[in-house]
Amino acid sequence: MADATDPWVQRLREGATPPTWPVHLAALALVVASAALIVAELGSTAFVAEAARSSRVGSIVLLEVVAVVAGFGMWISTWWSGRRDRRVLARVRASGHRPAFFLPVLTKGIRTGEDLPRPRPEVWTIDAAGLHGWTADRESPVTEVPWARVRRIGLATNDSRGARVAYGLWLDLDQGNPLVLRPRTSLCRPFGAGPGALATLRSVVSALRRDAGARVPDADA
């Protein structure tokens, strides 16, 4: 588990956005390198002849095409996340709200029953009152969950190769279904948090709940 004082956690406390150019640069490098390989290979008569004889060679080209598509996808999703999250941050600051923590999330759940009604929050802010879900198009939160409704905070898990692997934060609410959030590790980035980061975020959110004076079960401590 990462430490709750790690730089990425501190950025979420401050609502700071890391630079996106390293991701864009990596995506561009992936696209250029993969495309260059494809062009070089298809320009080689020996390679084309070998591809006609062996399906394994064709599979190599297919993987390179997938890498090009993945690079474009990474670039576009990072640009879109950055644009959307900055608009959300502007909404939060314009409202005068001063959160203790910002929790960017993926809007799509692993299971259909975990999806929130539209519009789905893209960033949650956390303060002494509870959790507030924001979107880029609304001037106020679209969803609010006061601490009084949260009975327990855990990890949402699913089966992966015979093991239970965490994919989100699981909030047991006093009314209705549990709230499952799939955090991202950073504002302006589209990547979901892994099991280690999720364990850290669970500890951080539980600590914020304790600081707010909410009654916390032993399992959350």
Q: Domain ends where: 62, 90, 118?
A: 90
Total domains present in the chain: 2
- Gap between the Cα atoms of 78 and 91, Å rounded: 20
**In terms of domains, do 132 and 194 share one?**
yes
pLDDT of residue 38: 87
pLDDT of residue 215: 56
- Written as six digits, the tokens of 170 are 């699981």
- Gap between the Cα atoms of 45 and 51, Å rounded: 10
What residue ranges of the chain have pLDDT lower than 70? 1-4, 51, 214-221
Q: CATH code at 201? A: 2.30.29.30
pLDDT of residue 72: 92
In a domain, 67, yes or no: yes
Which is it for the CA torsion 214, 94, 140, 4, positive or negative? negative
pLDDT of residue 3: 60
- Domain assignment of residue 161, given as a range: 7-15+98-220
**In terms of domains, do 106 and 133 share one?**
yes
Q: Domain ends where: 29, 64, 90?
A: 90
**In terms of domains, do 173 and 191 share one?**
yes
Q: Domain ends where: 60, 90, 120?
A: 90
pLDDT digits (tens, 9 = 90+) for 33-55: 999 988 888 888 877 777 677 77
**In terms of domains, do 64 and 136 share one?**
no
pLDDT digits (tens, 9 = 90+) for 194-210: 999 999 999 999 999 99
